[in-house]
Amino acid sequence: MYNSGLRCGLLAAFLFLGAPASLTAATISGVVRFHGDIPETGTVRMVGDSFCTACHTSPPPKQDLLVNASGEVQNVVVYIKDGLPPATVNSPPSTPVELRQEGCIFYPRVFGIRTGQELRITNRDNTMLNMVAAPKSNSRFIKFIKNSSGAPETAKFEKPEVPVLLKSDVHPWMASYAGVFNHPYFAVTDGQGRFELRDVPTGMYTLSTWHEKLGVREVRLQVADMETTTVQFRYGSRPVEDQ
Amino acid sequence: MSQIEPVNGGDRPSYALSAFAKLTAISTFILICAGALITGNKAALSDPTWPKFAGQNYPTADTFVGGMRYEDSHRIIAGTVGILIAVLAFWVQFKVRKRAPKVLAWGAVACVVAQAVIGGFIILYLRPMVVSILHACVGQALFMMLVALAVILSPKRVGSVESSGTPRPGASFFRIQCVVACCVVYCLLILGATVRHAADVFMPQLVLHISLALFTVVMLIWLSLQVFTRYRDVADLRRVIWTLFTLIAVQYGLGVVAIFANRARLQPEAPDQAHVLLSTAHVGVGALILISFLIMALRAFQHLPVSQAAEKHQTLTEKLA
């Protein structure tokens, strides 16, 4: 009798506490556009390592500013900067974020990662991988994998920080940027400049973007129950919010 | 007539030792330039396996790639310079009787060992800015020591007698000014290293660096006025003055390029080699300016006796001894 009552109580508590998160969860989606003349993409200048130049028939395009013909911007980090209740800061996923060197380029160029989540670094090239992280808030680290047969390296970030530059001191053109968050509400825009943040609790937030060349945009928005809030960020002009 | 006395207190000149001291000083200059190439090529942490070469005991063609070429070349040159300095110290120890050259030689040994440790510290602790600046400054101090040693050991100086032991007007003050000029230029190089190693383009240091560079020109003009009015007969001083004017003119041009190169350093892309070479030249010419002021100070102590010590004038070497 006592046990069944306890079970009922726990079930009720679970429903009471768990339900609001799922019932009130909303989605923030949108697109990041570039306003103005679409800049031309230059090419990466690879010097000093014959392996790297041999990997490409022609110099690969730079990844620092990828804007498609419609003006949509790739590799923009979009995240909730503030307004989140403390309860949303939970433990990081156990799956690692993969970062690889291939053709003497780091992939992905921009990624998001949780504090405490594992970053797994692999080298697919038959030349050195050298990765130097020089964050401002987190601990610095350096990873070195001699060639493709070398074992993957791992790293973790302890504090939220946007951005963290991961660069190579062997191949100075190589770079990757990490956005480190203590919550799951972040995304990196795809080739069409789109992003989506799911299961966002109801509330008033500052939604922020970061791009390595274009900088930062911010917008305040109200997220309502079970609704999808659409936001359009524009670089080159003031950000526009379409609710 | 003044007293005629060998400057080095009776040591017989050794051409071989002098040549070796000069070779060591030149090697150190090359080492400084090699170090500047590392910074210019953003390759400071390219080989984190210090003191090895990409995890191996010696460099191979496979590991000699990208930024690692600069870092590992610097290590090889540093090792060679270390050996040269150690040999020089033992040679001086057994060949020279005076104390000053011995102090300088063993001081250089201490400096080069310290540099190796600081270099390792930079890599193992991921390039702390202060330590990187210290590495650059100790490198310049080492170069100064070796140049001073080469000057002191030169046969011309060891075997020479002073042109005149007669006290020169204002010599004491001129000597002090030369030493102060050396210190100012050394501070200028420290500020330059700060600008170069800063994680960002650090404006206050840059402004201070440029201000001190302007002050150096004023200082040089002031010193040259004294040389060309009071000490025209001292050819060594005149030569140093003209050398300094030339070097400083070149350095100003290189400095402008170095500022742009420093801004480009912050971008994650392969550095422009012309910028790298010119900014490396800025570091190299800076080192040459420093040692030119040092040589001027040494020449002032050598050629300009002060009135208080007219009977037995003292060279800088003797003072140190």
Most distant CA pair in chain A: distance in Å? Answer: 77
Q: Do B69 and A134 lie within an 8 Å CB cutoff?
A: no
Query: In one letter, which amino acid is A114?
Result: R
Mean pLDDT of B48-74: 89
Interface test with B, best of A64, A104, A127, A130 (most B CBs within 10 A): A130
Residues of A in contact with B48 (CB under 8 A): 130, 142, 144
**pLDDT, tens digit, for every residue of A213-222?**
999 999 999 9
- One-letter identity of residue A159: K
Q: Which residues of A touch B (CB under 8 A)?
A: 44-52, 64, 127-128, 130, 132, 134, 140-142, 144, 146, 165, 167-175
B143, B181: one domain: no
Chain A residues whose CB is inside 8 A of the B69 CB are: 48
- The answer, yes or no, to whether residue A24 has pLDDT greater than 90, is no
Kindly state the tokens that stand for B33.
């330039």
* B135 and B179 belong to one structural domain: no
Residues B152, B290 share a domain: no
ipTM: 0.81
Q: Tens digits of per-residue pLDDT, A142-173?
A: 999 999 999 999 999 999 999 999 999 999 99
* pLDDT tens track for B85-109: 999 999 999 999 989 999 999 999 9
Q: Are residues B207 and B257 in the same domain?
A: yes
A130 and B45 within 8 Å at the Cβ level: the answer is yes
User: Is B126–A167 a contact, with Cβ atoms under 8 angstroms apart?
Assistant: no
Nearest CA among A166, A198, A204, A165 for reference residue A183: A198
Is the bond preceding A201 in cis, omega lying within 30 degrees of 0? Answer: no
Per the domain annotation, does B147 fall within a domain?
Answer: yes
Model pLDDT for residues A186-206, shown as the tens digit of each residue = 999 999 999 999 999 999 999
pLDDT digits (tens, 9 = 90+) for B214-259: 999 999 999 999 999 999 889 999 999 999 999 999 999 999 888 8
Q: Tens digit of pLDDT for each residue in B118-157?
A: 999 999 999 898 999 999 999 999 999 999 999 999 887 6
B138 lies in a domain?
Answer: yes
Domain presence at residue B80 = yes
Q: Are residues B123 and B257 in the same domain?
A: no
Whether B194 and B277 share a structural domain: yes
A189 Cβ contact list (under 8 Å, min separation 6): A31, A32, A72, A73, A74, A75, A76, A78, A195
Query: Which range marks the domain in which residue B123 is found?
Result: 9-160
Q: Clarify whether residues B176 and B116 are in a common domain.
A: no
Task: Name B241's Cβ contacts closer than 8 Å, sequence gap at least 6.
Answer: B220, B223, B224, B227, B228, B296
Report residue B316's pLDDT band, with 50, 70 and 90 as the boundaries.
Answer: low
Q: How many CB pairs under 8 A join A and B?
A: 78
- Per residue in B181-208, pLDDT tens? 999 999 999 999 998 887 666 678 889 9
**B291 and B239 both lie in a single domain:** yes
Identify whether B3 is part of a domain.
no
Number of domains in chain B: 2
* B199 to chain A, closest Cα gap in Å: 9
- How much is the pLDDT for A188? 98
Which pLDDT value is given to residue A169? 94
The answer to whether position B2 is within a domain reads no
CA distance A94 to chain B (A): 28
A146 and B271 within 8 Å at the Cβ level: the answer is no
CB burial of A143-178 (b: ≥16 within 10 Å; e: otherwise) equals bbbbeeeeeebebbbeebbbbbbbbbbbbbbbbbbb
Tokens describing residue B180? 């102060």
Q: What is the DSSP letter of A151?
A: P
- The reported pLDDT for the residue numbered A16 is 41
- A42: closest chain B residue by CA: B269
For residue A5, the model assigns a pLDDT of 53
Which of A110, A153, A166, A170 has the highest number of chain B CBs within 10 A, making it the mutation to test binding with B? Answer: A170
On whether residue B212 sits in a domain, the answer given is yes
Decide which of B160, B194, B222 is a domain's last residue.
B160
For the cut 90, the answer to whether the pLDDT of residue A242 exceeds it is no
By Cβ distance, the residue of B49, B269, B273 closest to A144 is B49
What integer pLDDT is reported at residue B320 of this predicted model? 52
B74 and B34 in a common domain: yes
Q: Which residues of B touch A135 (CB under 8 A)?
A: none
From the list A46, A170, A175, the residue facing B68 with the nearest CB is A170
B54 and B187 both lie in a single domain: no
CB–CB of A128 and B43 under 8 A? no
User: Closest approach of chain A CAs to the CA of B193, in angstroms?
Assistant: 19
Q: Do B301 and B185 lie in a common domain?
A: yes
The secondary structure of residue A61, as a DSSP letter, is B
**A50 to chain B: closest CA residue:** B65
- CA dist., res. A69 & res. A36, Å (int): 12
pLDDT above 70 covers a percentage of chain B that reads 86
- Is there a contact between B160 and B315 (Cβ–Cβ < 8 Å)? no
Rounded average pLDDT over B29-49: 94
B311, pLDDT greater than 50:
no
With the CA atoms of B8, B9, B15 and B20 taken in that order, what torsion angle do they form, in degrees rounded to the nearest 10? -60
Considering only CB atoms, A169 lies closest to which of B44, B63, B199, namely B44
Cβ-defined contact of B43 to A169 (cutoff 8 Å): yes
Whether residues B192 and B318 fall in one domain: yes
A-chain residues within 8 Å CB-CB of B269? 44-45, 172-173
Examine residue B32 and state whether it is found in any structural domain, yes or no: yes
Distance of residue A49 Cα from the nearest chain B Cα, in angstroms = 5
B63–A144 CB contact, under 8 Å? no
What are the chain A neighbours of B67 within 8 Å (beta carbons)? 48, 130, 168-172
Facing B65 at nearest CB: one of A64, A128, A134: A128
d(CA B283, CA B67): 19
The residue among B128, B160, B192 that closes a domain is B160
Residue A221: strand pairing partners = A205
Domain boundary among the residues B160, B193, B220 is at B160
Band (A22; pLDDT cuts 50, 70, 90): very low
Q: Which residues of B touch A (CB under 8 A)?
A: 41-46, 48-49, 54-55, 63, 65-69, 71, 126, 199, 268-271, 273
Please indicate, yes or no, if residue B1 is contained in any of the structural domains: no
Query: What is the per-residue pLDDT across A69-102, written as a single tens digit (0 to 9) for each?
Result: 999 999 999 999 999 887 666 788 999 999 999 9
Asked if B46 and A140 come within 8 Å (Cβ–Cβ), the reply is no
Work out the minimum CA distance from B194 to partner chain A, whole angstroms: 18
